Amino acid sequence: MKKLNILVIGGTGFLGSCLVSRLLKEGHAVKVFSRGNSKSLQTHVNVEYIEGDIIKSDKLNSLFNKIDYVYYFASTTNPKSSENDLIFDLSSNLIPFISILNKCVENNIKKFIFCSSGGTVYGNNNKMPLSENSLCKPISSYGLVKLNMEFYIKYFNRKYNLSYDILRLSNPYGVNNLSKSLSGIIPTYINNIVSDNEIKVYGNGDIVRDYVYVEDFIDLNLKLLTTQEKNNIMNVGSGKGTSISELIKKIESVVGRKARIEYLPKREFDVDKNVLKITKVRDIYGWEPKISLSEGIKRTFHWMKGLK
């Protein structure tokens, strides 16, 4: 593959740091922009790490110098925290995002790749699995902001011909060899069960999610660099739904001990059921996940044991 100059915004988080590792293995030149924690994750001496806040930063012009592709994996909120301060969610995510899109246009970026949220932009829908044509009706500020980010990408494509791919990602999990931090429900549940701490379940355990192993997701991101395909919105998941109760049983089987569960009232921002149809990404990029949920849990568990 031809060596590319790539900027990863949010490149010190769970997904971003995994992507950076793979991009380097492929021989690409990588620059990372992050709001924080970059110093603790600067494990690659040949990566340029730049720390700052997008909306306040005076570094944006230099960030995009001689960059071919931009990955946007940044977020200041999650579905829970977004509900606590709607103004912060909007001002710290959507407004800086528009500044980034402007810089992409000014610097003739070849493609802008955005990690959206397949778990929240659709909201509650009766028909599963969800396709990219399913009605989007987010029930959290997080999902609403992500959807508006998608709208702005398409606006910049129409007005300025900015090429893009939008990845509506389900629930990613797995091994992150750059960090000891645990991201997501699966590592959290594993850790609590191993430590004999109660795990919190909101509702009665019947909430359904679609889980995808992180390396499968990163595989797709590498494919986006090797084709002329562009301007697609695509679901990225396993195409299979797993309830919280089923997930706990799978983790118990791998860990070898029973979970102690604290059942709490269902949260209003939690979507009842989310399973993504992945036909489109399979047809366009020839991608589908390789790692089953059971195998992914095993890999995550063994990685976490090595962190002790």
71 is catalytic: no
With beta carbons less than 8 A apart as the criterion, state whether 173 and 184 touch: yes
**C-beta neighbour count of 78 within 10 angstroms:** 14
Kindly give, in sequence order, each residue whose CB lies less than 8 Å from that of residue 176, ignoring residues fewer than 6 positions away.
Answer: 14, 17, 18, 183, 214
* AA letter at 207: I
Helices (H), 195-243: 214-223
Choice among 71, 72, 142, 213 that is catalytic: 142
Kindly give, in sequence order, each residue whose CB lies less than 8 Å from that of residue 211, ignoring residues fewer than 6 positions away.
Answer: 170, 171, 172, 173, 186, 237, 238, 242, 247, 293, 296
| Distance in Å from the first CA to the final CA of the chain | 38
Collapsing DSSP to helix, strand or coil, 172 comes out as strand
Going from the C-alpha of 297 to that of each of 139, 244, 247, 302, the distances in angstroms are 29, 14, 10, 9
As given in the structure block, the two tokens for residue 48 are 């340029």
**Whole-number Å distance between alpha carbons of 222 and 23:** 8
Catalytic residue annotation: 142
